[in-house]
Structure 1
Amino acid sequence: MSTVLGPTRPQDDEVPGTPERRGPRLRGDLVAVALGCALVAASALYGWNRIDAGVPILVGWPPVLAEWMPHFARGGVAAVVVAVLVVTFGPTLAARLRWGALLAVTYLAAAAWTFSLALIDGYQVGIVDRLTTPTEYLVEVDRYPGLVPFLTTFADRIVGMTPDTLVTHSSGHPPLATLVYVWIADLFGVGGEPAGLVTLFVGASASVAVAVTIGALGGLRWGSQSDLRSASEAGRAIARRYIPFGVLFPGAVWVGVSADGLFAAVFAWAVAFFALGAVRRGVGGSLLCLLAGLVFGASLFLSYGLAAAGLLPVAVAVLVRRWWPLAVAAVGVLVVVGLFHLGGFFWFDGYTQVKLRYYQVGEYGLLRPYRYWVWANLAALLLALGPAVVAGLRRTVWWPRRAPVALLALVAAALVAIAVADLSGLSKSEVERIWLPFGTWLVLACALLPVRSARWWLAAQAVLALLVNSLLLTTW
């Protein structure tokens, strides 16, 4: 394993875990942001051109699934208040609060930001009605036949155009995604309100999980034996720089409310448990890795696309230079896979059927042109990430020596997962929500931005989210 890379109290633009103080200039960051804006503009203009030509882009406001509809319900004032508070006090509190208290405040702030953004659409439209459309999981909750018949018939109901065929979202995901909403209805009541609130408040925890992960790993480097206490201190210093950006994540527009926000949080906690277990030895570490494996396994039955995100735990294992944690986690994954198989559903059968459904006559996957979406997807993702992430990613590419190796590894793994999902052709449009499980990890790159300009970048993130949510009526 490894030791600390540098001082735990960085000043100016010094990054914890790096020996150099002089870094990239702001001009390069702004150029990167300008190029990102150009990509979004090009995707919008070309998308409208294709729509005018009769090509089925199948979104209302390319490159995102939304309609141009300026609006701002009174509850949305809370979003402005949360943004101002985080921009003003976030970096200072992140630097000074004790670690446990900071994680609690991070969750409360992220939940407040996500909830208040949803209120821009109004409580009814922004939260209660989001998951009640005819394509959502709640349709299957109303006709849930019981666990055994549900699992044994699930794969057979993915393809087809019969009354018994699963609705779009249930058919496009493994059965656990629908079962989550069955259990929410059992525990908290039926309808869109409990489903929306649970989805939102679980999804808001993703930033805490990312902070825990980089806090455990951020001080590691290749070389000598690890001093875990010092490594943890350096890792937490990196996490403290990330946390305000994790809170004001523009993708929170779609976390509240879409099931993909919940999926992102579940997967993020799997990585966090694995990181905590991987840096420990003994029974405690093994139990955490086993727990991580169980949660990883669960995430595979929430979304087929999360198989690509398996690169993140592999990156963690490479960082700590120990393969035993990965083997223990694999046991947990196999337990979950085995339980579903015994129940009557095999993951690969479902995946095969989903690919058939995706390109079925009349489905959006067949109609949406790959040549447009293979690059317009990236523009949609940028609207969920924000300019600060673009600037941070620029620094990982142009100045990788200034980035802690753990941060680089996690960001690189997420980027590879995005590339795989994009090139597969199974993610054509709507990636502003579909890629939330990957995008949450790219926000780590914001820890590389200079401390002196952090508030400006945070303000830019908040303004983007507020503009998107108040000018466009998003589907989620």
Structure 2
Amino acid sequence: MKTARRDVIAVTLAILLVVAAFVVPRLHLGIVTPLINATPERFRDFAGTAPIFGWWNAHVGWGTVPAIVIGIAMVVAGQSVAARLPWRALPWATWAVSCAWAFSLAMIDGWQLGFAGRLEARHEYLRQVPTITDIPEAVRTFSDRILDFQPDSWITHVSGHPPGALLTFVWLDRIGLSGGGWAGLLCLLVGSSAAAAIVVAVRALADESTARLVAPFVAVAPTAIWIAVSADGYFAGVAAWGLTLLALAARGSVRLPIVAAAGAGLLLGWVVFLNYGAGLIAVPAVAILVSARDVRSALRALVPAVVAALAVVGVFAAAGFWWFDGYHLVQERYWQGIALDRPFQYWVWGNLAAVVCAVGLGTVAGIGRVFDVAAIKRRSGLHLVVLGALLSIACADLSMLSKAEVERIWLPFTVWLMAAAALLPARSHRWWLAANVIGALALNSFILTNW
């Protein structure tokens, strides 16, 4: 009864937070607003649907019916199918459903507007790709072009990330897969694979039955709204597999834990060169190591992972890019732009409302059960990795370097919160899963999200 009351309290507080975040911008409360120094037109374009970045637009599209069908199917049969599938088939099935769900949500907005055209917008990476004629030179001079108001400044998203993000789309273009459709497909496939990664990780960190409980929640997660159409979905997928390999190594769930750990280091090292904020992925990584059976197991995973990650750092350093130089310059660039007009007084809690929208009320109910002292003391891997993701979000929020748009920016962390739903009573899963599906469909159908 006490834990059920905790679920209700968590969900009630989350609803109040989201309602406040949507209502406060209309109350004109000085700096407790999502955007200052703005004309009505600019406010509508950049904060009209705060805390979510988008525009009010009730609409349906080609993806509406498939998304509803997938959502209903998962609510009705997701639990039973996940319980009966052979284990080897479950991660693949979870990935397939997650991919179809994300693509259907994107297609509610239409092929061009909802999918193929998103990464071709004027601030996106694909606009910069044709200007890269010498890749080594681009990497070597990358930091010189980060600050704004220079003749050769990088466009917004390129300047705001390490060179790995731009290089990904340049390489995709070089092998003949150019344009928004192929770029979107990369983000969709890699981003949706995070669902499979989390299922595999939860099996290593907890057990197979718990992983089967997680599968439906990650398959139709509300985070899919942003996974199909943003590079942050790609970042989330890379980070998810890095943490999963680390979990497999730390828990001794694979034959060659040293190889798995090295793979984890390569992926986690690479994701840090995709997104500066991904450095906070170290927090759930440490949580995974803490959950290892003993110190020897933790070290067996840690040492190869660190060596492999440092190898990635070394390659970029040899190519002429030093991560810390880029990071400091990005902070300057951040305050050269709209960040000055986004008050921390609103976004410090408005960001959290965006997270609630991105993970769903069912997930919030599960998060309420993560703060279990007994489970934490026995170093439960599931509890610790979710707490690690929450701590990463808290650090990012308090840094003042994440104000708005966190529903996509924090995807590498929020996808892990979905695993908390497994802690809810199995008899309630269908209802909480329905809450997540309905929330995702409503948000995607009434707000034309920017991503």
CA 263–50 in structure 1, closer or farther in 2 if over 3 Å, else same: farther
Specify whether residues 281 and 473 from structure 1 end up closer, same or farther in structure 2 by C-alpha distance, changes over 3 A only.
Answer: closer
Q: Is the 8 A contact 1:206 1:268 kept in 2?
A: yes
| 1:194 has 2:182 as partner | yes
| Deviation of 1:28 (Å) | 3.7
Distance 1:319 1:389, change over 3 A: same
Superposition deviation, residue 24 in structure 1: 2.0
The Cα shift of 1:188 comes to 4.6
Say whether the 8 Å CA contact 1:47–1:63 is kept in structure 2: no
Secondary structure of 2:142 counterpart: helix
Deviations along 1:372-400, whole A, 9 cap, x unmatched? 11111000111001001110011222675
* Larger deviation, residues 56-65 vs 114-123: 56-65
Counting matched residue pairs gives: 436
Report matched runs for 1:71-470 at 5 Å.
71-218=59-206, 235-280=207-252, 284-320=256-292, 321=294, 322-360=298-336, 363-397=337-371, 401=375, 405-470=380-445
- Corresponding residue for residue 24 of structure 1: 3
Q: Label 1:400 to 1:283 Cα distance change in 2 as closer, same or farther (>3 A).
A: closer
CA contact (8 A) 1:241 1:447 kept: yes
Aligned in 2, Cα 1:23/1:323: closer, same or farther, shift over 3 Å?
Answer: farther
Rounded to whole Å, the distance in 2 between the matches of 1:281 and 1:201 is 25
- Aligned partner of 2:23 in structure 1 is 45
Give the 3-state SS of the residue equivalent to 1:126 in structure 2.
helix
Structure 1: how far apart are the matches of 2:222 and 2:90? 21
Which one-letter code corresponds to 1:24 in the other structure?
T
> What is the alpha-carbon distance in structure 1 between the residues aligned to residue 201 and residue 255 of structure 2?
20
Structure 2 CA distance for partners of 1:188 and 1:199, relative to 1, 3 Å: farther
Q: Distance in 2 between matches of 1:454 and 1:188?
A: 44
305-314 or 27-36, which deviates more: 27-36
Query: How many angstroms does 1:200 deviate by?
Result: 1.1
| Aligned-partner Cα distance in 2 for 1:400–1:436 | 29
Q: Give the C-alpha shift of residue 35 in structure 1.
A: 1.3
Using the alignment, how far apart are the partners of 1:442 and 1:36 within structure 2? 14
Contact residue 23 and residue 399 of structure 1 kept, 8 A:
no
Unaligned runs of 5+ in 1: 1-21, 219-234
State which drifts further: 86-95 or 395-404.
395-404
Cα separation, 1, equivalents of 2:71 and 2:254: 43
Secondary structure, aligned partner of 2:55: strand
1:229-261 C-alpha deviation (Å, 9 max, x unpaired): xxxxxx111111111000111011111211111
| 2:124 and 2:157 in contact (8 A); partners too | yes
| Deviation readout 1:303-350 (Å, 9 max, x if unpaired) | 000111111221122111322321110000100000000001000010
Q: In structure 1, how many angstroms separate the alpha carbons of the residues matched to 2:29 and 2:110? A: 30
Q: Distance in 2 between matches of 1:399 and 1:116?
A: 40
Q: 2: distance between equivalents of 1:325 and 1:400?
A: 25
Q: Report the CA distance between 1:51 and its aligned residue.
A: 8.5
Whether the 8 Å CA contact 1:392–1:447 is kept in 2: the answer is: yes
- Most deviating of 75-84 and 53-62: 53-62
State the AA in 2 paired with 1:306.
Answer: A
- Assess if the C-alpha contact under 8 Å between 2:245 and 2:263 holds in 1: yes
Alpha-carbon contact 2:192-2:227 (below 8 Å) kept: yes
Contact 1:207-1:247 within 8 A present in 2 as well: yes
| TM-score, normalised via structure 2 length | 0.93
- Cα distance in 1, alignment partners of residues 257 and 63 from structure 2: 44
Q: Matched residue of 2:448: which SS?
A: strand
* In structure 2, distance between residues paired with 1:406 and 1:325: 15
Give the drift of 1:423. Answer: 0.4
Taking a change above 3 Å as real, the CA distance of residues 88 and 135 of structure 1, as seen in their structure-2 partners, is same
Check whether the contact 1:76–1:118 (CA below 8 A) recurs between aligned residues.
no
1-side partners of 2:450 and 2:29: how far apart? Answer: 19
Deviation at 1:60, TM superposition (A): 2.2
Quick one: distance in 1 between partners of 2:346 and 2:253?
49
Q: Is contact 2:360-2:436 (8 Å) kept?
A: yes
Q: Secondary structure at the match of 1:162?
A: coil
Give the superposed CA RMSD: 1.9
- For the residue of structure 2 that corresponds to 1:67, the secondary structure is strand
Give the gaps of 5 or more residues in structure 2.
none
Report if aligned partners of 1:71, 1:470 keep a CA contact under 8 Å in 2: yes
Aligned to 1:3: none
SS in 1 for 2:256: helix
Q: 1:386 to 1:281 in 2, by over 3 A?
A: closer
Return the alpha-carbon distance in structure 2 between the equivalents of residues 400 and 39 of structure 1.
29
List per-residue Cα deviations over 1:210-245 (Å, max 9, x = no partner).
111111121xxxxxxxxxxxxxxxx11111111100
**TM-score normalised to structure 1 length:** 0.88
Contact 2:258 2:301 in 1 (8 A): yes
CA gap of 1:371–1:400, structure 2 versus 1, over 3 A, is farther
Structure 1 contact 188–194 (Cα < 8 Å) conserved: no
Q: Distance in 1 between matches of 2:21 and 2:2?
A: 32
2: CA distance between counterparts of 1:249 and 1:355?
A: 31
Residue 271 of structure 1 and its aligned partner are, at CA, apart by 0.7
Letter in 2 for 1:385: V
For residues 170-226 of structure 1, the C-alpha deviation after alignment (integer angstroms, 9 at most, x for no partner) is 1000000011111222235221111111111210000111111111121xxxxxxxx
- Paired residues of 1:400 and 1:408 also in contact (CA < 8 A): no
